[in-house]
Amino acid sequence: MTGKGKAGDHPHIGIAIAASGLMALGLAAGLVILKLMARLDSLLAGMFVPRGITAPIISLNPWILWTATALLAFALPAAILNIPDTWRRSLVWIATFVLTLTWGPVLMLASQKPEIGVAVIAVLWSGFCAMFYAHSHVLPADKTTSKKTTDGSR
């Protein structure tokens, strides 16, 4: 698309949320299959393990990791696509990314390996897809914001 759709167009937010979440999970799964996620996990572990402390050897349960990742992959686009204004969407995306990164030190305190690369990639990609969709379409949240400012009721 070259620009935002007409004001009368109805964007398909549900389809966009599902597509963003599925693409993020697919990308994360593909990186696991290609064994690139192990490199990212070791890079993140190097950032979170303090010097002089032995790295934990207990791995996080994959069911917990993938369930939390799926929740983030679908919840983040749902939130982004229902928030008006680009700066607010960006703030939600950045805050979610930072909170996802903070799983690492928490897992270290619980003596678990900080294998959170899957969640980090899913948050980055689903947020990117949602931001791209929001930039390319006029969303209902944007319509209500512009209506309030033109009516002077804000």
Query: Out of 5-14, 28-37, 44-53, 68-77, which region has the weakest mean confidence (pLDDT)?
Result: 5-14
By residue range, what is the domain housing residue 68?
Answer: 13-144
Percent of the chain scoring above 90 in pLDDT: 68
Res 1 pLDDT > 50: no
Kindly indicate the confidence band of residue 141, based on its pLDDT and cuts at 50, 70 and 90.
Answer: confident
Rounded CA-CA distance 134/119 in Å is 22
pLDDT of residue 82: 93
pLDDT of residue 153: 53
Rounded CA-CA distance 128/41 in Å is 21
Res 129 pLDDT > 70: yes
**Which one is predicted more confidently, 89 or 4?**
89
Mean pLDDT estimate for the chain? 88
Rounded CA-CA distance 140/81 in Å is 9
Residue 8 placed within a domain: no
Domain count, the chain: 1
